[in-house]
Amino acid sequence: MTTKQFVILMLIVTVVCGGAFLTVLFFINPETTGLTGFFLFYLSLFFGLTGLLSLLGFYSRYLFTRKFQEFEQAQISFRQAIFFGIIIASSLLLQSQQLLTWLNAVILVFLLTIIEFLIVSLRKSH
């Protein structure tokens, strides 16, 4: 897959996931829905955020490095977008349950930072 194909596919998937999120947001009543409605809300939020943040990260890397054709930049942006999506969606989930504290947020960010450092260090060693 080329970088251009990846960006086009990511754009299409992001629009679809954003539409799914808006559909859940406007058509599912949180007072009457069960676990399925909340699951769909957080899942569509995560995928929509991941796509949006991946595209924003890729284009910001392109603006600063001018290396549009490197697929590695797209992979890095996608991986980091997944981590940011996890942080945002899980923070909102914890806040909805009134469990979000600064300590929980720091632990979550710390764990994902360690995972990122492990991935980077394993890639550099190969």
Domain range for 84 is: 3-125
Q: What is the pLDDT of residue 67?
A: 65
Number of domains in the chain: 1
**Cβ atoms within 10 Å, residue 8:** 11
Q: What is the pLDDT of residue 125?
A: 76
Over the chain (126 residues), the average pLDDT of each successive run of 10 is 86 96 94 92 96 93 75 88 97 95 96 95 82
The string of DSSP codes covering the chain is --HHHHHHHHHHHHHHHHHHHHHHHHH--TTT--HHHHHHHHHHHHHHHHHHHHHHHHHHHHHHH--TT-HHHHHHHHHHHHHHHHHHHHHHHHHHTT---HHHHHHHHHHHHHHHHHHHHHHHH-
